[in-house]
Chain A
Amino acid sequence: MVVFATIAQASSAREHALDKQLLPGQKNTFFQSIVSALNIPFIILDSRFRVYYQNDLFLKKFNYKDESIRGKLLFKLEGQQWDNEHLKKELKETLEQNRDLNNFELQFENHQNMVLNANCVAKGNRKFILVTLQDITEIKRKQHREKEILKHSIQVHESEKQKLEKAVKRRTKQLEMKNLELARANKELESFNYISSHDLQEPLRKIQNLSSLILKEERKHLSKTGKDYFKRMQLTAHRMQSLIEDLLAYSRTKNAERKFENTDLNELLDEVREEYEEKILEKKGEIVASKLCTAPVIRFQFRQLLHNLFSNSLKFTIEGRAPIIRIRASIASGADLEYNKLNPKTRYCHITFSDNGIGFDPQYSERIFEVFQRLHTVKEYKGTGIGLAICKRIVENHNGFITASGKINKGARFDIYFPLNKL
């Protein structure tokens, strides 16, 4: 708008200039000084759109010689840059309606972008059009560049988005596959449960029955060695039965319904302690339990957990040493407990279960929780190697952790952590 103000100021000067019928080239007139001060290309057209006057900047900008354009029709100027129907129409209207033409954009063949402003002046019965031009090529270029950059970044964004969408799609597909696999695995497990509970036990039972019939009815036909073989066969069959039953118990621990109940752990402990009373008495053992807490647990599973831990401790005792089992429980936040997998802000029930039995080599502290992992021969200590695996699964069903620590002949210690808030 500064341009217009300048033109407006210039218009009074122009009157003088026109009055004196100044010709270009005559320097230092009042009018020319003002027009020269205009830092943009400027022309005056007469009422038939012929160039009446132009400043130096105009000549320079469009590479004209003074005499080559004076008096010529604007639209016919060299280079045909001005031969523009739209411009013709606009200028015609400007002249006829005596109005201003604002910010008319022109694109020249040499890729120059110009903004043209025009307004009308009347002198006596003659009419003139004052035209200023502003080169906006750089501005346009910059805008274009910015547009390109924006376009590019949109494209990048789009392609990133598409990549992400693709990844999400792929992941969803993978998850769907996994779900299918899981459903299939569950189904297989169910049929495995059935097979192991029925089909697997069936032939085993027959082997057991037939061998006991032989021992009963055909005893007299058997040598001492024969009888021994049969007894060993029965023991083996019995062991296989235990394995199948324990494996079933293990798989049931995973599939069972999870119903959490706020439970006084002292009650559960008393129930389990009662089961083992005889065995503890027999071994002259002792259970030292501090008062336990109340916590949300799956009752029957937690009872099983305590049951298995007792069974474990009373099995791996040292000959001649009275077994002592110590149980403690406390409630603390993860930050205050010495186990790095805990969430510092969550509150946990921490149960410690320790004994003075044969312990174990610390290098096996992870392995003893694996199914069928045994650290001793069946002859030394009976068992199928599933008890502690069940313990681990039960603790995991409670969203918790169980760790084992120990030293050979120095006893074993189990630490159980599970969160107090349940979903």
Chain B
Amino acid sequence: MKKTQTIKPFIHLLLAEDDKDDRFFFRKALKQLDHKVSLTMTDDGTQLMNYLTKKNSLLPDVLFLDLNMPCKNGLECLVEIKQQARLKNMPVIIYSTSVHNDVADILYKNGAHYYVRKTDIENLVLALDKILKLVEKKELVRPLKRDFVLNVLELH
């Protein structure tokens, strides 16, 4: 479990990501934005579930969930989260390299909010900006299936 320094404590983000570089890029992207954010990170799915199911744990406003993780993968975590009363309303955003239609279908069916594809930092910045703005306005709701994969190119 790594807790980074609070950037501007307001929106609480949780990132489950096993890749050190990707955690680094995520932080870099957040730094480029003006939102008040606190970021907690876990290294894999097991750590994530341990964190979330701990009594009195602070639930994030949004969870960013990688798919390919050791021990417990992103989909397994998503399914568990949506089965638990305390956790099921927490928005989950999938953050992964590949966008396979059938994988996206499964994730949408299992209650994920959005699917953000890992591309370059510029795109990640745009995607985070969009999501954080929705959180601030309390408008982060599940979109229609066709808008599930967040196409950052359209945000340009």
Contacts and interface: CB of A to CB of B under 8 A. Distances in A.
Interface of A: 194, 197-198, 201-202, 205-206, 208-209, 212-213
A212 B120 contact: yes
A205 B21 CA distance: 11
Contact of B97 (A198, A209, A212, A213): A198
A209 B22 CA distance: 10
Given A197-B98, A208-B120, A213-B28, 16 more contacts: A194-B98, A197-B97, A197-B100, A198-B68, A198-B97, A201-B97, A205-B97, A205-B120, A206-B21, A209-B21, A209-B120, A209-B121, A212-B120, A212-B121, A212-B122, A213-B121
A212 B25 CA distance: 11
* Pairs of residues from A and B, 3 with the lowest C-beta to C-beta distance, nearest first: A198-B98, A197-B98, A198-B97
A286 to B, nearest CB: 30
B97 A202 contact: yes
B118 interface: yes
Q: Which of A201, A205, A209, A213 has the most CB of B within 10 A?
A: A209
Interface of B: 21, 25, 28, 68, 97-98, 100, 118-122
A205 B100 contact: no
Contacts of B118: 202, 205
Contacts of A208: 120
A202 B97 CA distance: 7
Contacts of B100: 197
A127 to B, nearest CB: 105
Contacts of B25: 206, 209
6 contacts: A197-B97, A197-B98, A197-B100, A205-B119, A205-B120, A209-B25
Contacts of A197: 97-98, 100
A202 B98 CA distance: 9
A202 B28 CA distance: 18
Contacts of A212: 120-122
B126 to A, nearest CB: 14
Contacts of A205: 97, 118-120
